[in-house]
A = this chain, B = another copy of it.
Amino acid sequence: MSTMDIAKKYVELCKTHQNHLIIETMFSPDIVSVEAGAPPGASAEVTGIKAVGEKSKTWMETHEVHSAKVEGPWPNGDKFIVRFTYDVTNKPSGQRFTMDEAALLTVAGDKIVREEFFYSMGG
């Protein structure tokens, strides 16, 4: 499959709220997930499909998604970029905010081997 084939499938699964299928069917077992930032004591980088799956599950459980916009993909070589604009409420704090970010995905052997999330930390 081309990077664009994989990118289109990724976007389709995001748009239809089947992110669990991305993890189960599109991620390499050794996937590396990199956040732009992390709370004190936490790591911005997580490795392995189990840890990445748990991170995703925790996020889903602690956030209510009111609406989601997924744009792209934009490919270049073995990478592609996707833009996310999510209107969400963080359940523990009750705070509603707009999640405005871009993701850079790297493909190898028809699997996603790296996901990097880009967003402002208020800087």
A104: interface (CB < 8 Å)? yes
Which chain A residues numbered 76 to 123 have a C-beta less than 8 Å away from chain B? 76-77, 79-81, 83, 100-102, 104, 116-121, 123
CB distance from A40 to the nearest CB of B (A): 17
A76 touches which of B2, B72, B116 (Cβ 8 Å): B116
A4: interface (CB < 8 Å)? yes
CB distance from A44 to the nearest CB of B (A): 8
A80 touches which of B4, B75, B118 (Cβ 8 Å): B118
A32: interface (CB < 8 Å)? no
Q: How far is A73 from B101 in the complex, measured between Cα atoms in Å?
A: 9
A31: interface (CB < 8 Å)? no
